[in-house]
Each structure stands twice: as structure tokens, then as C-alpha cells.
Structure 1
């Protein structure tokens, strides 16, 4: 039996960023090209709830999907990085794109992780803290000047190059750490 056929990846969207948008599409494709079956979560977050209070809601969306799979990789963007709580509870690896490193509940979940995770963020993102990211994990991609959508100022090709950097980091993490 091919070990890759047992691989699963759960793609967790952001607040306004679906599971097939930019960064998540490429991160998911990186997992799929390594034989992972993708589980895409789609949602509409409840309005009016402060960001700090959304962890339980995200857990309610992610846990039932994860519970049906054998040791999946979790891939989340922004609000989806609250999925780190599920990863920590179940001992699962993660790829967290523009995680909410200024929100204590997210940081607490990352601190409880027992499996490796990759953090990706930009220095112009108000939710990013590069020093904290490097304290939490040795697997960090920090892009100078990138905002919360990992876009950088200047010609659009520079932002496309950032997408390439993120994809390369995700592929290396999957090949060298998660699915050696």
C-alpha cells in the first residue's frame, strides 16, 4: 500500500478568504501533489463576534472534519489559525499562513503543539510577530514588507514572487518534516 494514499490535509479558510483562494490553494496543492486527499472547509463566520472570541467557533468547524481522518495535516489562514487548538489537542502538524500571533488564544494553542508547524507571515501584517514566531517554531517564513494577504508594495510581480516563496517553504516543510 502506498503511504501517500493515507495522507490527508484539512484546508481551513480565513475570515474572508476561502479554501481555494491564493495562498491556501497553493498550500493545498502542495499537499495534494504529495498524495494527500484534501478536505476543504468553507464557512461564513458569525458577524459581530470579536476576533478573540472566535476560537470556540473555529474549533466547532474544524474538529468534526479532523475527527474523521487519520492524522491529517492542518493548513489554515488567519482566522483558520485558531485551528492550531485542534492540532494541539490531537497531536497534528500544521501550516499556519498569516497566523493571529497577536491574539493570545492563538499563541496559547501554538505553544501547546506537540507536532511541528510552519508559520508564514509578513512584517507589514499587524497580526504578525516575527520574534514570537521564531520562539514558537524553527519553521518560519517571514517576508519583509508583506501584509496580511502576503502582498508587498510595488509591481504585482513582487507579490507573485512572494506566493512562490510561500509555496516553496510549504513544499520544503512537507518534504523535510511532515512526510519525510
Structure 2
């Protein structure tokens, strides 16, 4: 289940490569497209979580707790961590909103493994919190919320490669062993 961030849809490069990693391992991939995204971006933290859950829940298959379902989410989509925790699904959370109490609390409730990916120049990332939540963390020095680093675009493309490799390793070594 690919759950996008607030700025781009589910086919943005970070999400696309993470979904490709799952597909290459024969997973079926469902992409969530936000409805009325602009209005959602004006909501409070508590309202955002409810809105994301309302957008994602109807797309979840029934009766699959503990099955092969994997959440892949970016930024705004990390509010779906509550669903992943409730249903016992592993996840890949790209640039998670670790400054949002509800997201952190949902991650704390999770009993399934999850990978957190963020950058030290992202104001919504907290590397210390990430490492307290899970042993599976990719923290990229100087990366911002879009996982861009200073300098030429090739350096940011290299970060995309690091993220793709971290996702593949997580899926191969932790999720689908």
C-alpha cells in the first residue's frame, strides 16, 4: 500500500523506487491517490490522522492482519502508521513526521518491523527519536524533507539510490525473509 506525502502523488521517485522494490519481490502494489488534498493540508494534527486513515482504510483488504501487506508511506502518509500498527503490518516510512506526537505514538504501538528514512536537514525528522523507535533507520546527512542534499542534483540522485538499497535490504533481510 503506497501512501503519498502532501506535495506529490504516489508515483514520486522515493515512493516509486520503494514500490518497485516490493513489486520486484512479487508483491501486489496499491497506490493511494488523495482526494481533496488541498483542504486536508489545512487540518490540525489530530484531524490529519483521521483524514489519512479515512482515505486509506477503504483501500485495505479485509482480514489480512499479519499477511503480506506492506505499507510504504511518505510524510503526510505516515499518519497511516496507526493503521499499520493496529493491523500488524510492516512498513517503510519515508521522511516520517517524527515531530507529530500522533505519528510517534502510532510507531511506538507497532509490533511489526518498520524502516524509517529521513535527513538531518528535515525539520520534521528527529534521528534520535527514529533510533529509539526502530533499529531500521537510514539517516542521510544534510538531506531535506524531499531527501535532496546540497550541491548538484547527482548527489540527490545518489541519495535516492541509497534509499532504494535500504528498502531492498529491509524487505529481503527483515520483512520477507
For the aligned pair, the TM-score class normalised by the smaller chain equals: over 0.9
Query: Hey, what does 1:136 align to over in structure 2?
Result: 133
Asked if structure 2 preserves the Cα contact closer than 8 Å seen for 1:121 and 1:141, the reply is yes
Rounded Cα–Cα distance in structure 1 between residues aligned with 2:63 and 2:156:
34
Equivalent residues, number = 171
Aligned to 2:70, which of 64, 69, 73? 73
**1:1-180 alignment to 2 at 5 Å?**
10-43=1-34, 44-45=36-37, 46-47=39-40, 48-68=42-62, 70=64, 71=67, 72-180=69-177
Asked if structure 2 preserves the Cα contact closer than 8 Å seen for 1:121 and 1:146, the reply is yes
Asked if structure 2 preserves the Cα contact closer than 8 Å seen for 1:124 and 1:145, the reply is yes
Question: What secondary structure, in the 3-state scheme, does the structure 1 residue paired with 2:71 have?
Answer: strand
Rounded Cα–Cα distance in structure 2 between residues aligned with 1:31 and 1:148:
23
Question: What secondary structure, in the 3-state scheme, does the structure 2 residue paired with 1:147 have?
Answer: coil
Question: What secondary structure, in the 3-state scheme, does the structure 2 residue paired with 1:31 have?
Answer: helix
**Stretches of structure 1 lacking an aligned partner (at least 5 in a row):** 1-9
TM-aligned CA deviation for residue 40 of structure 1 = 0.4
RMSD between aligned alpha carbons?
Answer: 1.1
Rounded Cα–Cα distance in structure 1 between residues aligned with 2:62 and 2:27:
15
Rounded Cα–Cα distance in structure 2 between residues aligned with 1:17 and 1:66:
21
Rounded Cα–Cα distance in structure 2 between residues aligned with 1:97 and 1:59:
17
Asked if structure 2 preserves the Cα contact closer than 8 Å seen for 1:52 and 1:103, the reply is no
Rounded Cα–Cα distance in structure 1 between residues aligned with 2:126 and 2:75:
13
